[in-house]
């Protein structure tokens, strides 16, 4: 029993350290001018740039760069092409986040909640309303121009199947990116 508890504690700390390291690295890279300039040049790579722009569009730390790449591509490609290709890139980024939350982070958060938050909200987490509202709220967040981490996390916690998540994520991201790019072509002076 003690070895299992130590292993779980070690695993929990490892995931939290990896996430914190990833956030710190993203913040540092986003402030590096050469790296930022390189990412902006990805817009010149057509469909590959759209795919990478879509991947960057889903994260809090890279959403601005991803949007810039996609808006640069709007001058060369149609909004439908950008929406479809960048939607595939966004699904790739969301899938990584989804599996991290679904497979590992969920247990870590649960353990931290039990340790620090107590059991007073456990009845809420097991109610029928909780299970259907998480995916709906998550889908609304993914469809919006907001970064997807919270929405993807909610869908991962809700035990959504991977195939259903892929389909919903693609449709919502492709539509959202298409609308953002279309609006930019209409608003241009």
What percent of the chain has pLDDT above 90?
Answer: 16
* Chain-centre distance for alpha carbon 73: 21
Q: What is the pLDDT of residues 163-185, one digit of tens each?
A: 888 998 899 999 989 998 998 87
Cα separation of the two ends of the chain: 67
Q: Which of 50, 33, 154, 148 is nearest to 105 (CA)?
A: 154
Q: Is 23's pLDDT higher than 70?
A: no
Q: Is 130's pLDDT higher than 70?
A: no
Distance, CA of 9 to CA of 76 (rounded, Å): 51
DSSP 59: S
Q: What is the pLDDT of residues 79-123, one digit of tens each?
A: 999 999 999 999 999 888 877 766 665 566 566 556 655 555 555
What does the domain layout of the chain look like in residue ranges? 2-187
79-100 vs 63-73: helix crossing angle, rounded to 10: 160
DSSP 105: I
């Amino acid at each position: 029993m003690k070895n299992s508890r130590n292993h779980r504690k070690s695993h929990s700390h490892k995931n939290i350290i990896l996430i914190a390291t990833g956030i710190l690295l993203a913040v540092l890279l986003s402030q590096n001018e050469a790296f930022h300039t390189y990412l902006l040049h990805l817009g010149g790579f057509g469909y590959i740039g759209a795919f990478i722009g879509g991947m960057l569009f889903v994260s809090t730390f890279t959403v601005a760069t991803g949007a810039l790449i996609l808006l640069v591509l709007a001058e060369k490609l149609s909004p439908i092409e950008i929406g479809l290709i960048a939607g595939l890139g966004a699904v790739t980024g969301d899938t990584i986040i989804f599996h991290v939350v679904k497979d590992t982070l969920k247990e870590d958060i649960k353990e931290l909640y039990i340790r620090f938050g107590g059991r007073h909200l456990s009845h809420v987490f097991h109610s029928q309303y909780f299970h259907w509202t998480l995916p709906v709220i998550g889908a609304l967040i993914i469809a919006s121009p907001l970064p997807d981490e919270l929405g993807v996390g909610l869908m991962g916690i809700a035990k959504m199947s991977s195939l259903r998540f892929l389909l919903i994520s693609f449709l919502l991201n492709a539509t959202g990116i298409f609308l953002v790019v279309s609006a930019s072509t209409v608003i241009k002076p």
